[in-house]
Amino acid sequence: MKTFLVLSTCLFVTAVATMVSAQTTQTTNASGNVVTTESSDKYGSGGTHQTVSDKTNYRLIAEFYYDKCGRKRESVYPGSSDGKIPPQTSYFDEEGRLELKVLHSKMMGDVYIDSKGDKMDPAQGKAVIEKLEKTSSPCPEKPGGQVKAKPETPPSLVAPSGTSPFLGQPFSPSTFSWTGPYMGIQFGYTRSSSDYNLKLGGLWNDFPDTRNEIQFQGMREFDENGFGLGGCAGYNYEFNNRFVIGAGVAGRKFWGLDAMHNTGDFSTGNTGDFDVWSKFRTTGIVTFGPKVGHACGRFLPYVSGGLAFGELDTAQKIFSSNFGGFREMGKASENRLGWTLGTGLQYAVTNNWSLRMEYSYSDLGTFKYAGKSSDTFHDFTTWHMATLTEHGGNFGIVYNFSQFGQR
């Protein structure tokens, strides 16, 4: 009885070993790397799973899944050893067409890319993979009823150095991410508006008609058109759901945004004639703040906002030839702090270069400063006030420094 059990066990082990050896083969390709082929039912019964490993330390270089007809349905690349290129899995339909890529990034998690190079929702991507793994159709027949043979792994899949040629190449330009730092130049049109007002007090209150008329004549709105040239820089981060957040700074130097106005002599009644002279100039603006957008492939519509810093040079003068030779001058220059809002659209021409168009509105608030007159009229007090708002339309050329722009 014992002899029978021993013989039975030996026969069973031998049969199992024979089955395993029949389902797993190991060869060496032209590059000297080890190619292991074993049976796999991942894409239906009769399929195979093939791995390519380094001949020295057996490090995995690539792996492939074939269906029973020898059609490649899935390929896996582990990524570069330095971590700059993340692992990638590609899925193919029964005609060998690429349906989906999954980039396994440590920073962004799994990123699903469709055959057109656009990002997919993770749930949608997982559904496509599940469908592909369940799809199995009859093998195509050649003339004469011969079934198409399983293709052998071409030697070119593995480079002589023992790494996949894919790992030494950048990702397809169509698989793009907005994550990373950027810098660029921008130029465009600017329209500035500045409202001037006067507030007279002190002994001016003894001449109410004169005071009111000078205040009225001193009101002036400057609406000027000009051009700006400057730069921008910042950082964006794109999530798997294509939601993009970032922060950036931008600045422009202005040309043509200055003006002067003189009322000419106007009568104030018994006190005589007066004249009000006003001058306006703004030289540039700097904005800083967050940005929020939603990526549509290589298009990025966004809104932005934050702080605005702008310089305002203002001057206003009141004088009269017959009110005791009255002379008053108010002049000041100040860097104003305000707020800004904007919206724009950016398009990635390549993995690193992009173009963007943007509209922005900035409000730098009200600037108030005191006027100065001679000692004779010291008690005739004057306050000058000026506001500054700006509308800007800009075009920019931007460079993205991040490697994650190439996937």
> Hey, is 137 helix, strand or coil?
coil
pLDDT, one tens digit per residue, over 356-375 is: 999 999 999 988 888 888 77
Question: Is 90 exceeded by the pLDDT of residue 94?
Answer: no
Q: Which two structure tokens, joined as six digits, stand for 101?
A: 């890529």
Nearby residues of 168 by Cβ (< 8 Å), 6 or more positions away: 159
What is the per-residue burial (b if ≥16 Cβ within 10 Å, else e) of 262-272?
A: ebeeeebeebe
Asked whether the beta carbons of 67 and 95 are under 8 A apart, the reply is no
pLDDT for position 106? 73
User: What is the per-residue pLDDT across 342-358, written as a single tens digit (0 to 9) for each?
Assistant: 999 999 998 889 999 99
**pLDDT greater than 70 at residue 101:** yes
The pair of three-digit structure tokens given for residue 21, joined into one six-digit string: 């050896």
Query: Once rounded to an integer, what is the mean pLDDT over residues 282-294?
Result: 94
Question: What's the pTM?
Answer: 0.58
Exposure class string for 278-288: b at 16+ Cβ within 10 A, else e? bbbbbebbbbb
CB 40 within 8 A of CB 74: no
Indicate if the pLDDT at residue 141 is higher than 80. Answer: no
| Residue keyed to tokens 């907005």 | 178
Segment 112-120 long-range contacts (CB within 8 Å, at least 24 positions apart): 112/240, 113/175, 113/407, 116/174, 116/297, 117/172, 117/173, 117/174, 117/175, 117/176, 117/297, 118/174, 118/296, 118/297, 119/240, 119/242, 119/295, 119/297
78 pLDDT tier (thresholds 50, 70, 90): confident
Q: Is the confidence at residue 5, as pLDDT, over 70?
A: no
Assign 135 to helix, strand or coil.
Answer: coil
Token pair in block for residue 213: 């008329």
Alpha carbons 381 and 402: distance in angstroms, whole number: 58
Tell me 21's DSSP state.
H
CB neighbourhood size of 83 (10 A): 11
- Percent pLDDT > 90 in the chain is 27
What does the radius of gyration of the chain's CA atoms come to, in whole angstroms? 37
E strands, 213-256, where? 220-238, 243-255
Element (H, E) at 318: strand 299-319
Task: Give the separation between CA 47 and CA 52, rounded to whole angstroms.
Answer: 17
Quick one: pLDDT at residue 342? 96
- Per-residue pLDDT reduced to its tens digit, 189-227: 999 998 898 899 888 898 888 889 889 988 888 888 999
Q: Which comes out higher in pLDDT, residue 90 or 96?
A: 90
Whether the per-residue pLDDT at 150 is higher than 70: the answer is no
Residue 349 in tokens: 């021409």
Higher-pLDDT residue of 106 and 94 is 94
Q: Is the pLDDT of residue 2 over 60?
A: no
